[in-house]
Chain A
Amino acid sequence: MTMLSSAPSSSAPPAGFSDPVQQSQASFRALLDAMARPGRIASIAGDIGRPDGVTQALAAAALTLCDLDTPVWLGPGFDTPALKNWLRFHTGAPVVAQAGAAQFALLNAGQPLPNLENFAQGSDEAPEKGATLLIQVATLQGKTAMQWRGPGIKDGVAMPPCGLPMAFWQQRAALSAAFPRGLDLYLCCSTDLIGLPRSTAITFATEA
């Protein structure tokens, strides 16, 4: 059946996956590995078409996880026609105006980030309704700023701020009290990503 809409034009969005079946599988395994082993870097290889200013890891995550059934919210810096068109063309995901209505949010750490409480946290009976945030960061390196502990982490792992302000980490650390409600995060930098599920507890050096 032919697509009735969106005939290619000079402004056609960048390509996305060239082999959707295999690339989305490989990307999913990276995402799964990252979520199962918080703090450990997973990488997404290959060449993935994406709008300017979007890193490969974030683009691959969005193409792998989003579709018609997943409302997406675009944060400051990502709320552009180019990204919107690209996302809509490849995934069909509805872009929503309210952060709280989104199942996925695409965030750029180079811009002011919204308060984490704005996103859906799920309920005690349906915690899986808590949103997944895909956050693009400039680096996954830096001096140790905190400890992560929890499922998937053998002993506890020392983590840098990953290009995010400490206020962000304080907010995230505070969410643990509401478990199983909460947010699941991916920090995406170039072809690399780190997963941070809600089950991970964060403590700061000063508390130790």
Chain B
Amino acid sequence: MYVAVKGGEAAIENAHKLLAEDRRGDPDVPELTVAQIREQLSLAVDRVMTEGSVYDPDLAALALKQARGDQVEAIFLLRAYRTTLPRFAVSKPIDTARMQVSRRISSCFKDMPGGQLLGPTFDYTHRLLDFSLLAKGEAPQAEGNGGSVADALPQVVDLLNAEGLIEQEKPDPDDAPVGDLTREPLLLPAGRDVRLQNLARADEGYLLALGYSTQRGYARSHPFVGEIRSGEVSVEIDVPELGFSVDIGDITVTECQMVNQFRGSKTEPPKFTRGYGLSFGYAERKAMAMALVDRALRAEELGEDVTAPAQDQEFVLYHADNVEASGFVQHLKLPHHVDFQSELTLVRTMRAEIAAEREEALREAAQ
């Protein structure tokens, strides 16, 4: 006698209880607050906001807490929440030239108007575990506020404009609306607006690997960091009824402008081209990788041969989203026993037929 196992519902409920228990860990250790995550794991928060496409440090910190620190899971939580939000307005483009910068560097020039500003960076730390953090540490005080006092700092890449050495970036002449992947499916070939949105939401590790591949010769584009700047910019929306735009708050972003060599073509003299990256918060590695991949994806537009993975729009864009990728890879955990049964039946039939043929052949040979 056989009784089928039931009780999927009870099993799921129990799994959720176990998960909650594991998330909390040892109850003798004080519970993390969302504020602690927001303030002390801020780069994790920045990544979750960037790839989750929602600027809200508290929600991102909450997502990280709920996800036990799993960033892709936290990004997914934030995305699923974002889906349900109504759209009140469309903001005006942010003006990063008017950023209150806390970090600004260029690798193209030793110095430039406004100067280099190192800001809070791991760059020149020696990667030695700091055991003093094991104990409670006093917050060190940096000298100066680290922020720029200037009202507007020129974009370094624009300084090259004076000589016409770098391509101009102009809005589309046809005044076409900017695409939005969260409302329309990706259709190919995709314009740069849609590509940049896709890359901004893309998995950091994926972009890092693709960007790295361009440096190793797969679509070599001779990149220089024209400028990286991080800081606060204001977000404005137009209110038609008022006839002017309204500042609705500040967000912290990191912008990377890559400058790349371009050998020129029959119609154009040699000049520099650009790759662009932007992330929320201080997600600098992401912004840089994004800029490399953005430039690689412009191959066709610039008349270059499409030979490398990072230049292949369809490949890059369709596999960039970690919420999609993680879901599909992990769906293999779901039961597939019906498909598997079909395959079993087929393989058994084919083996039986082959065995019968062999037997037949042996019998004939014996005669």
B is a partner of A: yes
Write the residues of chain A forming the contact surface with B, with a CB cutoff of 8 angstroms: 1, 4-5
B84-99 at interface with A (beta carbon < 8 Å): 88
Show 4 A/B contacts (Cβ-Cβ < 8 Å), sorted by A.
A1-B88, A4-B239, A4-B241, A5-B241
**A31 CB, nearest partner CB in chain B, Å:** 22
Q: Which residues of A contact B88 (CB under 8 A)?
A: 1
Question: In the complex, what distance in Å separates the CA atom of A19 from the CA atom of B239?
Answer: 29
Question: What CA separation (Å) do A16 and B101 show in the bound complex?
Answer: 51
- Bound-complex Cα distance A5 to B241 (A): 7
The CA of A4 and the CA of B242, in the complex, are separated in Å by: 10
Which B residues touch A5, using CB under 8 A? Answer: 241
- Chain B, 233-257, CB within 8 A of any chain A CB: 239, 241
Which residues on the B side are within 8 Å of A4 (C-beta)? Answer: 239, 241
| Smallest Cβ-Cβ distance to B183: which chain A residue | A69
Bound-complex Cα distance A1 to B248 (A): 14
Q: Tell me the residues in window 206-255 of chain B with beta carbons closer than 8 Å to chain A beta carbons.
A: 239, 241
Neighbouring B residues of A1 by C-beta, 8 Å: 88
Task: Give the residue name and chain of the A residue nearest to B187 (CB).
Answer: A126
- Assembled-state Cα–Cα distance A167/B88 (Å): 47
Q: Mark B70-88, 1 if CB is under 8 A from A, else 0.
A: 0000000000000000001
Q: How far is the CA of A186 from the CA of B239 in the complex (A)?
A: 38
When C-beta atoms are compared, the residue in chain B nearest to A68 turns out to be B87
Tell me the complex Cα distance, A1–B88, Å.
Answer: 8
B16 vs chain A, min Cβ distance (A): 29
The 4 closest A-B pairs by CB, nearest first: A4-B241, A1-B88, A5-B241, A4-B239
* Docked complex Cα distance between A1 and B239 (Å): 13
Quote the shortest CB–CB distance from B240 to chain A (angstroms): 8
Question: How close is B176's CB to chain A, nearest CB, in angstroms?
Answer: 15
A4–B240 CA distance with the chains assembled, in angstroms: 9
Q: Which residue of B is nearest A3, CB measured?
A: B241
- Least CB distance, A9 to chain B, in whole angstroms: 16
From B89, which residue of chain A is reached at the shortest CB distance? A1
Contacts of B241 in A (CB 8 A): 4-5
B262-276 toward A: CB 8 Å interface, digit per residue (1/0)? 000000000000000
- In the assembled complex, the CB of A64 is this many whole angstroms from the nearest CB of chain B, namely 19
B174 to chain A, nearest CB (A): 15
Q: How far is the CB of A69 from chain B (nearest CB, A)?
A: 8
CA A1 to CA B241, docked complex, whole Å = 15
Q: What A residues does B239 contact at CB under 8 A?
A: 4
Closest to A69 in B: B183
Cα distance A5–B88 when bound, in Å? 13
Min Cβ gap A165→B in Å is 38
**Cα(A4)–Cα(B239), bound, Å:** 9
A1 to B86, CA, bound (A): 10
- Among residues of A, the one whose C-beta sits closest to the C-beta of B241 is A4
What is the minimal beta-carbon distance from A160 to any residue of chain B, in angstroms? 40
A87 → chain B closest CB, angstroms: 20
State A75–B241 Cα separation when bound (angstroms). Answer: 31
Q: How far, in Å, is B84 (CB) from chain A's closest CB? A: 14
A1 to B87, CA, bound (A): 11
Distance of A154 Cα from B135 Cα, bound (Å): 78
A1 to B89, CA, bound (A): 11
Query: How far is B243's CA from A145's CA once the two chains are assembled, in angstroms?
Result: 58
A91, B88: Cα distance in complex, Å: 15
The smallest beta-carbon distance between B121 and chain A, in angstroms, is: 39
Could you tell me the distance in whole angstroms from the C-beta of B45 to the nearest C-beta in chain A? Answer: 27
Distance to closest chain B CB from A156 (angstroms): 36
* Nearest-Cβ distance from residue A7 to partner chain B, whole angstroms: 11
- Shortest distance between the CB of B175 and any CB in chain A (Å): 15
Measured in the bound complex, the distance between the Cα atoms of B88 and A131 in whole Å is 29
Smallest Cβ distance from B62 to chain A, in angstroms?
23
CA distance A1 to B237 in the complex (A): 15
Q: What is the CA–CA distance of A109 and B325 in the complex, to the nearest angstrom?
A: 50
| Docked CA distance A27–B241 (Å) | 34
Q: B87: nearest residue on chain A (CB-CB)?
A: A68
CB distance from B359 to the nearest CB of A (A): 49
Shortest Cβ distance from residue B351 to the other chain A in the assembled complex, whole angstroms = 40
C-alpha spacing A148/B148, complex, angstroms: 73
Report B263 CB to chain A, min CB distance, Å. Answer: 35
Kindly state the separation between the CA atoms of A144 and B152 in the bound complex, as whole angstroms: 76
Residue of B nearest to A5 (CB): B241
Complex CA gap A113/B239 in Å reads: 40
A4 CA to B88 CA in the complex, in Å?
11
Nearest opposing residue in chain A for B88, CB measure: A1
